[in-house]
Structure 1
Amino acid sequence: MKQLLLLALTFLISFTTFAQINLEDSTMQVIGYWDKNETQTYIITNEKYRISGTDTTQREFVTYEVDVTIKDSTANSYTIEWLYRNIDPGTDNPFARKLAGISDNMKVIIKTDEMGSFQEVVNWKEIRDEIKKATALLRKEFKHIPQIDEVTAKVESMFSTKEAIQAQAIKDVQQFYTYHGAKYTLGEEVTGNLPITNLLGGKPFNSEVTILLDEINSEDDNAILRMWQTLDSKELTDATYAYLKQKADKTGTAFPSRDKFPVLQNETRTSARIHGSGWVIFSRETKEVTTEGALAFEERIIEIK
């Protein structure tokens, strides 16, 4: 979805030169100049926690490695394999480790356009089927755990369709290719509106987005880019209220009226250092969802090994 903004707010890029950084006009083109069978390995960490008042709850810290390999390239596209391995959920809980392990050694095949801008997951059906087999085994092995069906059903829903996988299951991939496919000018903020997938169902959320080329390092042939994204607060609050109220109604649980429901804010900040070849060196995405006295925090770091 982020690529829609890039296409809408940037102009056509010339492909007659290899160099992405142009010191004469202080610009950078973020394009993938990748060779077939080229591989880079990344270490990815994902931290989540919630704060309610002064209490921190539901803390999660997961680390894993990904081998990113260029499987094929044409004049119009790249086919790229993301191989997930060494997944560590940061806990000794047997179920949590088995649940995290269903993605170990999973291959996600994606396609980008000729500039390296993400287009689609190619092997989504194979991924869906692998997840279904794995969750079926988990339900048998851990049938004694309360709500095991609910937990595994939630995992399956994330991988149930091509759209679900692209919106929910491969956030690290989406983060990696955030800036590919556009040209940026040093110190010049690019702003606009961007539709964001509504994971609660219903129409996409509107969001305000700002992108900035913050720094150019010509000696090392890399640059730092930053993005700020804020979801429409009213749309987010309305959709969350409707979703939670529907669940409460099904169970007969009392639920507050809309005017007493707290306002939600959702802000995402993404920064990346990208090499002139189009390979990401380092990327950090931080998401904060806040309301009265509460915070849901998530941070994902992608670092080349």
Structure 2
Amino acid sequence: MKQLLLFAFILFTSFNSFAQINPEDSTVQVIGYWDLNEKQTYEVTREKYRVKDADTTRRELVKYEVDITIIDSTATSYTIEWLYRHVSPATDNSFERKLEGITNNRRVVIKTDEMGTIEEVVNWQEIRDEIKETTKVLRKEFKHIPNINLAIAKAEGMFSTKEAIEAMAIKDIQQFYTFHGAKYALGEEVKGQLPIYNNLGGEPFSADVTILLDEINEEDNNFVIWVWQTIDPEQLTEATYAFLKENTPNTGTTIPSKSEFPAMQNETTTAARIHGSGWVLYSRETKEITADGTLAFEERTIEIK
């Protein structure tokens, strides 16, 4: 999502270093005004389900808390710790509970620039090694489950490299800092295209993006911003077909011919209420992937406690 911040920043180049909200021209500058050792706790809820012919299936619900602490601050950067705890998947399946819980009591240390735009995950090697140790135990404990190695390998892949962690394993962190680093004008839609990470492999997807500052509350010193993102459907369909064709032969699954393969759509909407200090008060991201009458829905909410 860093490209989104740069995209918006280029369009709004003026900068007001003294206030997030400028009532004179109805603009806001989303910057992190954070102090060393400042800490906030958030509750995160993630829900997934699929809908086929009006029937809802494969519902997943996970809740957890995260402590966000500013552990270093310079004139040009912040170092921020995200500490995950109380990971609570709503499932009776012991393997799924433990697989979801691999991030429990895990710390992710990120670095941002002085405005709060994510630059990197600092402790990615620590995360990778801890995940490997955890999944090694899971392989032994659940070796009796069919295709267990495939399921664990998929989870491990999200934490295998610095690039993978930054692209796939810190979705809630990316959501939190989506709008930081740029200036926005009330009621003015900003449109453009951005490259989006392709988790199927291959070249990044092209996505149409629209950003809107929807609301300014001077009295409460907060504001509401939206972003809508639609991945190019032809690129998405082509990449999905290629991935399935390469990876399904050994599973006994057959896929239709390329001409009969259903078109796919991927749309993501993110909305956030942000305080003038740069702390997010509430953020909700919804993703809808549709193909052949089936909807895969995912929603993640982040709320300050």
Q: TM-score, normalised by structure 1?
A: 0.96
CA 1:45/1:253 → structure 2, altered by over 3 Å: closer, same or farther? closer
Q: 8 Å contact 1:5–1:192 — kept in the other structure?
A: no
Q: Which residue of 1 aligns with 2:216?
A: 216
Q: Which residue of 1 aligns with 2:12?
A: 11
User: 2-side partners of 1:253 and 1:100: how far apart?
Assistant: 26
3-state SS of paired residue (1:102): helix
Q: 8 Å contact 2:285–2:300 — kept in the other structure?
A: yes
Q: Which residue of 1 aligns with 2:178?
A: 178
User: 1-side partners of 2:124 and 2:253: how far apart?
Assistant: 37
3-state SS of paired residue (1:69): strand
- Which runs of structure 2 are paired with 1:164-175 in the superposition (5 Å)? 164-175=164-175
Q: 8 Å contact 2:15–2:29 — kept in the other structure?
A: no
Q: For 1:55-87, what per-residue CA distance to the aligned partner results, in whole angstroms no more than 9, with x for missing partners?
A: 222110000000000000111100000000000
User: 2-side partners of 1:261 and 1:301: how far apart?
Assistant: 33
Question: 2:12 is matched by which residue type in structure 1?
Answer: F
**Does 2:273 align with 1:273?**
yes
User: 1-side partners of 2:148 and 2:242: how far apart?
Assistant: 26
RMSD: 1.3
Of stretches 242-251 and 135-144 in structure 1, the one that deviates more from structure 2 is: 242-251
Where does the alignment leave 5 or more consecutive residues of structure 1 unmatched?
Answer: none
3-state SS of paired residue (2:187): coil
Question: 1:183 is matched by which residue type in structure 2?
Answer: K
Structure 1 residue 251: Cα displacement: 5.0
User: 1-side partners of 2:14 and 2:250: how far apart?
Assistant: 53
CA 1:32/1:188 → structure 2, altered by over 3 Å: closer, same or farther? same
Q: Which residue of 2 aligns with 1:115?
A: 115
3-state SS of paired residue (1:159): coil
CA 1:16/1:47 → structure 2, altered by over 3 Å: closer, same or farther? closer
Q: Which residue of 2 aligns with 1:88?
A: 88
Question: 2:231 is matched by which residue type in structure 1?
Answer: L
User: 2-side partners of 1:254 and 1:182: how far apart?
Assistant: 46
- Which runs of structure 2 are paired with 1:1-305 in the superposition (5 Å)? 2-9=1-8, 10-14=11-15, 16-17=17-18, 19-250=19-250, 253-305=253-305
Question: 1:12 is matched by which residue type in structure 2?
Answer: T
3-state SS of paired residue (2:47): strand
User: 2-side partners of 1:22 and 1:43: how far apart?
Assistant: 30
Structure 1 residue 51: Cα displacement: 1.3
Q: For 1:146-173, what per-residue CA distance to the aligned partner results, in whole angstroms no more than 9, with x for missing partners?
A: 1111111111101000111111111000
Q: For 1:175-200, what per-residue CA distance to the aligned partner results, in whole angstroms no more than 9, with x for missing partners?
A: 00000000000000011000000000
Q: 8 Å contact 1:53–1:294 — kept in the other structure?
A: yes
Identity of aligned residues (%): 66
User: 2-side partners of 1:209 and 1:93: how far apart?
Assistant: 38
Structure 1 residue 13: Cα displacement: 4.4
User: 2-side partners of 1:133 and 1:78: how far apart?
Assistant: 29
3-state SS of paired residue (1:146): coil
The aligned length equals 303
3-state SS of paired residue (2:48): strand
User: 2-side partners of 1:100 and 1:256: how far apart?
Assistant: 32
Where does the alignment leave 5 or more consecutive residues of structure 2 unmatched?
Answer: none
Q: For 1:17-49, what per-residue CA distance to the aligned partner results, in whole angstroms no more than 9, with x for missing partners?
A: 1x1101110000000000000000000000001
Question: 2:106 is matched by which residue type in structure 1?
Answer: M
User: 1-side partners of 2:233 and 2:189: how far apart?
Assistant: 22
Structure 1 residue 253: Cα displacement: 4.9
Structure 1 residue 141: Cα displacement: 1.2
3-state SS of paired residue (2:5): helix
User: 1-side partners of 2:247 and 2:103: how far apart?
Assistant: 29
3-state SS of paired residue (2:256): coil
Q: TM-score, normalised by structure 2?
A: 0.96
Q: 8 Å contact 1:51–1:296 — kept in the other structure?
A: yes
Q: 8 Å contact 1:231–1:267 — kept in the other structure?
A: yes
